[in-house]
Amino acid sequence: MENRTFAASGSGTSATATASSTAPAPVAVPEQGRGAPRTPGRALGARRRRPAVLAMAVALIAAGGLGGAVLYNSTGQRITVLALARDVPWGQALTEGDLVTVRIASDPALKPLDAADRAKAIGMRATTDLHRGGLLTRSDLAQSLVLNPGQLLVGVAARRTQLPATRLQPGLPVIVVYTSDGGRSETLAATVFNAGRVDADGSQVFDVVVNEADAARLAGWVATGRIQVVLAPR
């Protein structure tokens, strides 16, 4: 280090000034714990937003449940009606086992029979092919059979040996089997519409319903007498 002495201007004394030519300039040191502020990371932001998102989801679920309840109530009261427990073919009389009761929302567009009409429906005949699970309406039933468009009645006379042992009754499905002179057999499905009295020798006349296109063919078979009446599965 070099020390120099200079004469002070306008005085007889001298002032000693010590200059340090090699001393480094002072450096400002930040205080402990006062560093530059840092921006929170994405993970911290996500954690802060998550409660708000969850609260919004809960609110939406609650609103959806309330809307569903309002819609349910707006459809009206639920009523108990009659439905089909199994298939019922045209013309067959309904039995206790054919019917079940179900609860549905009241709708003016639907007019099923009330469950209170169950006893009245039993014994009535199906005016069309009824299918399992369908609602039963008043138009589906009739006290007696009615012909649908495109159907005709054909009278069949048969001897005791040409008939099944089971008594024929309205609504019973049968198959008429015709055997030609050459031994060739043909069949035709029909439904008993009405059954006459059984004569003393066991012969019987009954009416069957067939499609209009098959009526003439069946009548020709009956005229030959070479027919056999077979019960069809219900």
For the entire predicted model, the pTM comes to 0.51
Q: Are 155 and 136 part of one and the same domain?
A: no
Q: Are 227 and 157 part of one and the same domain?
A: yes
136 in a structural domain: yes
pLDDT score for 26: 55
Q: Alpha-carbon Rg of the chain, whole angstroms? A: 50
Q: Are 109 and 167 part of one and the same domain?
A: no
User: How many domains is the chain partitioned into structurally?
Assistant: 2
201 in a structural domain: yes
Residue where a domain stops, chosen among 108, 142, 176: 142
pLDDT score for 182: 87
32 in a structural domain: no
pLDDT score for 72: 53
Q: Are 164 and 227 part of one and the same domain?
A: yes
69 in a structural domain: no
H or E element, residue 208? strand 204-211
pLDDT score for 108: 78
122 in a structural domain: yes
197 in a structural domain: yes
162 in a structural domain: yes
pLDDT score for 15: 43
- Chunk the chain into consecutive blocks of 10 residues (it has 234) and report each block's average pLDDT, rounded to whole numbers: 48 44 51 53 55 69 61 67 91 91 86 92 89 93 84 95 91 93 93 91 94 96 96 83
Taking alpha carbons only, the member of 74, 92, 93, 94 closest to residue 84 is 94
Taking alpha carbons only, the member of 70, 69, 102 closest to residue 84 is 102
Q: What CATH number is attached to the domain comprising 96?
A: 3.90.1210.10
pLDDT score for 40: 53
Length of the chain: 234
Asked if residue 142 lies in contact with residue 90, where contact means CB atoms within 8 angstroms, the answer is: no
Residue where a domain stops, chosen among 93, 113, 142: 142
39 in a structural domain: no
Q: Are 109 and 129 part of one and the same domain?
A: yes
Domain that holds residue 223: 151-231
